[in-house]
Amino acid sequence: MSMPSEQQMRIAIQTRDSSFDGQFFYGVITTGVFCQPSCSARPAKPENLRFFPSIESAMQAGFRPCKRCQQTEGDTQIARLVEVARHIEKHANERLTLAKLAEQAGLSSSRLQRVFKQAFGVSPKVYQDAVRMRHFKQSLKQEGSVTDAIFSSGFGSISRVYGEATRNIGMTPKTYRSGGAGEVITYACRNTALGLMAMAATDKGVCFVQFDDHEASLIANLREEFPNAALRVSCAQDAPELDAWMEALDRHISKGAPRPDLPLDMRGTAFQIKVWKFLLSIREGDVLSYSKVAEQIGKPKAFRAVATACAKNRIGVLIPCHRVLRGDGSLGGYRWGLERKQALLDAEKEQNSR
């Protein structure tokens, strides 16, 4: 089932309309939780909302269940599984056996393993590792040694976390911790047919293209992605390449010109970069499902991970994640709003028919 339009979802959240419960979930990036539309929690700023079609997709994106609106769901099994997930979140740095988790849920170990994965897309063990990795990333950005971060996050050995970290953050922990330290990133904003766009670039190429209605939000997102880099507003005389790149991308978005082939500075996991590079090969006007992308990159069972990689794309349009849809042909998600995704697809379809 496809989600309602972005406007409908935002109205449903504002009015706490329970008739939309189950049709979509929304995550709040400042708290890291996801909620039902009728949640009674204090409203979040619109720019901090992210929309998901299911509990699974929200948890795959790193959000945890809200304690207010998901305490008494109609499906008692889902409610029990949410409690297990919350327990894992709270005790992620401890050794949690499947047997103990199953006892808490009132299920056998084999059944818990099966239904947890059916509901959330990952096993309890993989979910715990993901929570540990999230804590580890947060610890790396704080004071203290890398070794301290490893053990405070619940990893039992240095060798294990280095194996996990390079798979999950695409670089060594020391490099990730730097958060762009020592780099100068030049950025600028420009109005386009999709609204306000920010583009930023390193000396290697474009590292950030995002859309919003407010410049402050765009700059805050840039700082969040590169917290330790020196950010510099572009003046055309100092960064003529960035100015030309923005103009070229604006012509593509607003006037239907070909998508510019610009140098890109992609940063992510090895898997994410593999997905992003494949997306560059999808022809304008064509669309693929998440499953098809997974097949094409040789990972046929990794369609959920493909969806997550698309959601993590920080270089919008230039890496055309908008060309990936759900298996039923519906839009799925889009980091910058489903209306923008539909507008891009419509423009490409029209351009292709000429």
Give the residue numbers annotated as catalytic, written as ranges: 35, 321
Asked whether the beta carbons of 151 and 92 are under 8 A apart, the reply is: no
**3-state secondary structure labels for all residues of the chain:** CCCCCHHHHHHHHHHCCHHHECCEEEEECCCCEEECCCCCCCCCCHHHEEEECCHHHHHHCCCEECCCCCCCCCCHHHHHHHHHHHHHHHCCCCCCCHHHHHHHHCCCHHHHHHHHHHHHCCCHHHHHHHHHHHHHHHHHCCCCCHHHHHHHCCCCCHHHHHHHHHHHHCCCHHHHHHCCCCCEEEEEEEEECCEEEEEEECCCCEEEEEEECCHHHHHHHHHHHCCCCEEEECCCCCCHHHHHHHHHHHHHHHHCCCCCCCCECCCCCHHHHHHHHHHCCCCCCCCEEHHHHHHHCCCCCCHHHHHHHHHHCCEECCECHHHEECCCCCCCCCCCCHHHHHHHHHHHHHHHHC
Buried-state track 250-283, b at ≥16 Cβ within 10 A, e below 16: bebbeeeeebbebebbbbbbebbebbbebbeebe
Instruction: Tell me the chain's radius of gyration from C-alpha atoms.
Output: 21
Beta-carbon contacts of 240 under 8 Å, excluding residues fewer than 6 positions away, are none
